[in-house]
Structure formats: structure tokens, C-alpha cells
Amino acid sequence: MDRSTGRRSRRRIRRPALGAVAAVVVGVTAACGVTTPPMVAPPRPPGEVAAEAWDTALAATTTPPLLITEPLSVLDGGGWTDAESKDAWVHGRLVVEDPAGTGTPAPQTIALGGTTRTVGVLSPDATAASVRRGDRCAADCRELVLTDPALVTMRITTILGPTDVPAWQFVAQGTPDLVRLVAIDPAEYLTVPDVTGLPSLWTAEVLAGGTVRVSFPGETPPSGHGCGSDDTASAAETEHVVVVDVIEHADLSWSGAGCAGPGVTRTVDLPLDRPLGDRVLVAAEDGAVIGIDRRADH
């Protein structure tokens, strides 16, 4: 379990406690008239299920797959200067005020991996609607009015690497705060029914030699006092997908009180059988896609 998020992030192998005695007891009971229940196949690992679904979806697409693995909106200039505006932003109460009636821009070409593709761009109002999350705050909370839309670019992380995409920049009415919203038509995103969910908390970097460096929330390295962990990684590669399995080797050799310490970002390097190319990285633990925030191979 990742202490900072509460989310289980990788498989764990525990080192035995000092003085513990390992014992394996295998019991087989045979009695007259007792029927052995049928064996039930264990559920398939999430990463395996996701890899199969992504393989099928990617084989059917003719354009570089686009899926953004970070929030579609950002606040420029630090924190909110107005608490009510922040509350409306967090709860997705967004309204665009655009007296000029800014229309829908022409499609734009963006870089993805080692190639490009053209994407549809939304109008300011449609952009706000695409990220609006509904009314989840108190009935009397105010809406955040966004004004003065300006078409800009926004650096984001995708499943094929970082790229610049069209975005609308707005002024949050009544504040000095600026916000940017990704303006890509959601129809452009590749999604896989029953598989595509929240992106993984992990990120990846593709190094010059083709090795993939995976970063994830973890624990401090072993301290020699029974706390911390080491990590190793392996990959299962298919035509369109690489399933990344990170295993945490936790040092629990100290039999005293539990370990307590801050979560840290850990990394493991994962050599692949062939260059990653435009394949998608999937976490074995939960089947979530992993965003690539840096590439040295393009």
C-alpha cells in the first residue's frame, strides 16, 4: 500500500522477521463419501486483461493513439487567491462568459511519439463543458466564471510521450488567476471499454538505449534496521503493449514496532527486448496505462 495515496502500487515480497520459523503445512483429507469441490480458475491478472484489450484496440487504429495521463486543466501562477473560486474549480462548476462568441478553431496537428496526427479543437464553451464534473458541492456554492478566452498551447503527458496540445486560457472572473483547459475534442482519445480508467500513478521515461525507466510512489531504501524496500521490475511484451510488473522487496526483518516514514519516488530501469516505439505501457498490478513524460529515442 502506498502510504501517500492509499493505493496499492506494486506487488510486495516480504523478508522474514528475525527469529521467525517458516513452516509449510500441507493437509490432505480423504474421507469416504466426501466430494471434493471442483477447482475454480483464479481470476486473470488485471495487467494481462488490459494488455489483451489494448492489443486489440491498437491493432484496429490507423492513427497514433492519443490518451492524456494527467489532468486536463491547470491553474497558472500558483495557488488560488480566492477560496470560493478554488471551491468552484475543484467541484467543476465552470461557466464560460464569451460575449465575442469565439467559434470553433480549425483542427491542429500535434506530435505523438515519433509521428504526428491532426486533432479536432473545441470552442471555449465546449472545452469547459468537456471537463465540467457536475454539481458536487453545496447548493449555495458559486460557479467559477471564465472570461477572455485565448487559444494557447499546453504541455501534457500522453501514453506516447510529452507533447504540446491546443488549450484555452481563461481569466477567472474577479481574481487575477489564469486557468488553462485542454481544448481537444474527447472523441479524439483512444479508450478501451471496461479497461480504460484512471491513469496509473506511475510515469515512465524512455532512455536513449531503449531502456524504460519507471517512476512510482514507494518507500525509502532498506536502512539495515528492518525498514524500507528494494524494487525490481520485469516486462511482458506484445506487439502493441508492454506490461510492467514492479515487485517491492520489503525489508521487515525487524520484529519491533512498524516502520513509519515518508513516501518517496522510486525508479527502476527496465531493458526491453526491442525498442518501445509506439507501444503502450500498462501496469501489471491494476491494468492502468502509464504516461511517458520524457523520451530520448525521438
CB 112 within 8 Å of CB 164: no
Other CB atoms within 10 A of residue 210 CB: 15
Domains of the chain: residue spans and CATH: 44-61+193-295 (no CATH), 73-188 (2.40.128)
C-alpha cell at 56: 486489440
> Is residue 270 scored above 90 in pLDDT?
yes
State the chain's maximal CA–CA distance in angstroms: 86
> Is residue 32 scored above 50 in pLDDT?
no
DSSP 8-state secondary structure symbol assigned to residue 188: G
**Cα separation of 284 and 11, whole Å?**
9
Name the pLDDT band for 3 (thresholds 50, 70, 90).
Answer: very low
- Cα angle 155, 83, 137 (rounded to 5 degrees) comes to 90
- Cα angle 186, 191, 196 (rounded to 5 degrees) comes to 120
> Is residue 102 scored above 70 in pLDDT?
yes
C-alpha cell at 46: 488485471
C-alpha cell at 63: 492513427
For 166-185, write each residue's pLDDT tens digit. Answer: 999 999 888 888 999 999 99
Per mean pLDDT, which range of 57-66, 155-164, 246-255, 272-281 is the poorest? 246-255
Name the pLDDT band for 4 (thresholds 50, 70, 90).
Answer: very low
The DSSP bridge pattern shows strands 94-96 and 73-76 to be unpaired
DSSP 8-state secondary structure symbol assigned to residue 187: G
Strand (E) or helix (H) holding 178: strand 178-182
- 3-state secondary structure (DSSP) of residue 156: strand
C-alpha cell at 220: 525509502
- Tell me the whole-structure pTM to 2 decimals: 0.78
Name the pLDDT band for 273 (thresholds 50, 70, 90).
Answer: very high
Average of per-residue pLDDT across 68-94? 81
